[in-house]
Amino acid sequence: MPVSIVIYEDNATLRESLSNLLALTGEYTVLASYPDCSRVTEDIKAMHPDVILMDIDMPGINGIEAVKKIRAINASVQIIMLTVFDDNTHVFDAMYAGANGYLLKKYVSDKLIHSIREVLEGGAPMSPSIARMIISSMQESIKTPAKEYLLTNREKEILQLLSKGNSFKLIAAELFISLDTVRTHIKHIYDKLHVRSQGEAISKAINERLV
């Protein structure tokens, strides 16, 4: 069954290009595409997509606020931000809101299909410059004692692998455990860190020096 996708992008030309690119693969069905997020809650409740492609800079409700609204009603849909912004504030705000991936628009034609596949496998796709920025932020930040979240050694190990962009399947293979066991550990990690998504977990792990 094709993966269902909803697009939020205010640039009509790019919105049409994204729909055409996805249609050509035969793997994806674009349920709808919108120029703004004015009815995002109603849209997602009605369509239940597998993946959302979300621009940040849109009229009215911006993409980050839209992600927060989506996460209030749907914790499982995979959300990839498509944006021209590659600064710390937008990246971390998107992660905290609950985004699963962050792709710069200049890489869309080359990276989008792979990024959708990656996010559906449990990964956190990011443009190379975004990944470098996060690493740089980690290296430059002042080292402070990590908060105690009572993570087990196995949970810390999985969180570290997750932060490196590994999918659930790759983590299972790396640690010689089942995919269901990985999912159980990740659920416990989310509960202990008080987060609702992979993006939030990675962002918290980086900011609080947990990995």
Q: Where are the domains of the chain?
A: 3-136, 142-207
CATH for 3-136 is 3.40.50.2300
Angle between helices 198-207 and 179-193 (to 10 degrees): 60
pLDDT for position 142: 47
The model's pTM is: 0.66
Query: What CATH architecture applies to the domain 142-207?
Result: Orthogonal Bundle (1.10)
Residue 58 contacts by C-beta under 8 Å, 6 or more apart in sequence?
A: 8, 9, 10, 35, 36, 37, 66
Question: What phi and psi, each to the nearest 5 degrees, are found at residue 78?
Answer: -90, 125
Question: What phi and psi, each to the nearest 5 degrees, are found at residue 56?
Answer: -95, -55
Tokens of 49: 């997509």
Q: Say if CB 199 and CB 70 are below 8 A apart.
A: no
Q: Kindly report each contact of residues 87-94 with a partner whose C-beta sits within 8 Å and lies 24 or more positions away, as own/partner.
A: 88/133, 88/137, 90/56, 90/64, 91/130, 91/133, 91/134, 92/203, 92/207, 93/64, 94/56, 94/63, 94/64, 94/67, 94/199
pLDDT for position 116: 94
Backbone dihedral region for residue 194 (phi beyond 0: left; psi -120 to 50: alpha; all else: beta): left
* Three-state DSSP class for residue 93: helix
| Domains 3-136 and 142-207 in one fold | no
Q: Say if CB 71 and CB 100 are below 8 A apart.
A: no
CA atoms within 13 A on the CB side of 47: 22
* Three-state DSSP class for residue 100: coil
pLDDT for position 84: 86
Q: What is the chain's pLDDT, residue by residue, as a tens digit (211 residues)?
A: 789 999 999 999 999 999 999 988 888 999 999 999 999 999 999 999 999 999 999 989 999 999 999 999 999 999 999 988 776 778 888 888 899 999 989 888 889 999 999 999 988 888 877 777 776 766 665 454 456 788 899 999 999 998 888 889 999 999 999 999 999 999 999 999 988 888 888 888 887 778 7
The distance of Cα 120 from the centroid of its chain, to the nearest Å, equals 10
Tokens of 209: 């020096």
